[in-house]
Amino acid sequence: MSEVNQPEVITTSEEFERVPVPPSHFKNWKSFLGMYAGEHAAGTEFVIGPLFLTAGVSAFDLIIGLLIGNFMAVLSWRYLTAAISVKERYTLYYKLEKICGKNLVTFYNVANGVLFCFLAGSMITVSATAVGIPFDMEMPKLTDTMPNSFTWVIIVVLIGVVISLVAARGYDAVSKAANLMSPIIVIAFIAAGIVAMRQLGVGSFQDFWNIWGDGSEPFPGQIKYTFWHVVLWSWFCNAAMHIGMSDMSVFRFADKASNGWTTAAGMYVGHYIAWIAAALLYAVYLKSPEAQSFLANGQAPTVAPGPLAYNALGFFGIIAVIFAGWTTANPTIYRAGLAFQSIIPKASTFWVTILAGTVATIAGIFPAFAMKLLDFVALYGFILAPVGAVIVFEYFFAERFGVVKNYAEKSGIKFNIAVLIAWALSFLVFYGLSISQGIFLSFLTLPAWISCGLLYLVLSKQMQKSV
C-alpha cells in the first residue's frame, strides 16, 4: 500500500516537531559540520581517551581500531540516518509514533529522553572539573558515585542552568553555539596532545607508539580491551544516534543526504585525534607522584578532565574543557527535550527542554555517569539502537515483506505489539547472553539490532490487518 503524501505544513514553531521540515528551513553541510565537530570533539573525549589507557589497550589496537570503528560509524550515519532523514523529514519520535502508536512510543521516549539526560549530565560533570580548579575543589575519583562536596554541587547546578537555557532556544541556538566553540576545542585538543608528547619526551613515532606499546594489564575495576573491543565500541558508542536513528531529529533539516559525511569531522577530529590527545594527557598524569600512589595502593588514578587540561594548557585548558562539556551537553539536552515534547505535544518545547536540562543537571551531580562512561555508553546504545532497526528495516524492506508502513497511523492503533515483542526479545536474549557469558556488550549490539529489525518484519507480516 503506498504512503499518503504529506502536505507541507508550517507551524508557529520552527522546530517542526510533528510535521515535515519545509524546504525553507533546510540547512547545508556547514551547519552540520560545526555541530558534529563540536559535539564529538567535546567533553566525552576528555574522559574516554584516558579510560582507554585504564583498559590496558595496545598501540595497534587503539590507533588502527579507532580508524576502522569510526569509519563504520560515519557510514552508518551517511547511508542509514541521513538517507532516511531527508526522505521522511520527521523527528525520530514522531516517526516512531506513526509506526508504534502513541502509547507504545511514550515508553520509548521516556527511556530515550532519560538516557540522553544521563549522558548530558556526564558532560556537565566534565565541565565542572574545569570550573572547580580555581576553587581548589576536590575532584571526583574513578570509583566515585556520589558528590564529594557542596562546592561540587553548586558548580554543577550553575553550569546545568546555563547549558539548559541555550538548548531550550532550539536547534539554531545549539548549532550556533557549536560553530563558535568547536574551533577553540579542536585547537585545544591538538595543542594539549603536542604539549603532552613533549612532557612525555616523545621524539619519534616509535616513542609515540611505545606510550601504549603492547598494552598492559587493566587498572583495578576495569576490563582488558583488545582490537575488537576498540573497533566495535567506537562504532557503537553512538549507536543510538546512527543505527538507532535518533539523529533523524537533526538530519531532517539537511538539504541532502550527503550531509551525513560531515559526521566524519566529529569522528576523526573528536573520536580519533581528541581521544588520543586526552589519553596522552592522562599518560603524563600517570607519571606523577599522586597517580603512582594510587597505583601502589591498588587503586585506579583519578580521571578528571579539568586538571589534565590545566596541566598542559593552563587557563586555556580550563576554557576548552568547559566548552567541550557544553557542546556535548547542549545537543543532547535538545534531543532529550524533543523526546519529552513528543510525550506531551501541547507543552512548549522550551519548557520540556528545561525539564530535560534539569534532569541532566541532577545526573551531573553524581560522578558515576562520567567515571563509568565506557560502560554507560555501551549500555545506552544497546538499549536504544534496536528500535532504530524498526525504522530502517521498514524503510528498506517493507514492500518486499508485504508490510504496511506507518501501520499505527494508518490503522489507528495506539500500541503496535509487533514492535514491543521484537525489541523485548532482542534485548532480553542478547543482554542475557552478555550477562551470563560475560560477553562485552558492544559485541552484541549489531546482532541485537538485526534481530529486532527482522523480528519486526516477520511479526508485522503475521499480525497486520489490511488498512
**Which of 227, 240, 269 has its CA nearest to residue 115?**
240
Instruction: With H, G, I as helix, E, B as strand and everything else as coil, classify residue 97.
Output: helix
Write down the pLDDT at residue 4: 31
What pLDDT band is residue 171 in, cutting at 50, 70 and 90? low
Contact indicator for 173, 165 with CB cutoff of 8 Å: no
The model's pLDDT over 242-251, given as tens digits with 9 standing for 90+, comes to 999 989 988 9
Q: Identify the weakest region by mean pLDDT among 7-11, 49-53, 151-155, 171-175.
A: 7-11
Q: Tell whether domain 35-384 is in CATH 1.10.230.10.
A: no
Write down the pLDDT at residue 322: 80
Residues contacting 365, CB < 8 A, separation 6+:
121, 147, 152, 153, 156, 157
Question: Considering the entire predicted model, what is its pTM?
Answer: 0.82
Write down the pLDDT at residue 82: 96
Cα Rg for the chain, rounded, in angstroms?
Answer: 22
Contact indicator for 18, 6 with CB cutoff of 8 Å: no
| Cα separations in angstroms, 142 against 159, 304, 441 | 21, 8, 21
Q: Which residue has the higher pLDDT, 152 or 66?
A: 66
Write down the pLDDT at residue 116: 83
The model's pLDDT over 336-346, given as tens digits with 9 standing for 90+, comes to 887 787 777 77
What pLDDT band is residue 317 in, cutting at 50, 70 and 90? confident
Mean pLDDT estimate for the chain: 85
Q: Which residues partner with 254 through β-bridges? A: 27
Q: Residue 33 class from Cβ within 10 Å (0-12 exposed, 13-18 middle, 19+ buried)?
A: buried
Mean of the pLDDT values across residues 372-385? 84
Retrieve residue 409's grid coordinates: 497511523
Domain ranges across the chain: 35-384
Mean of the pLDDT values across residues 259-281? 91
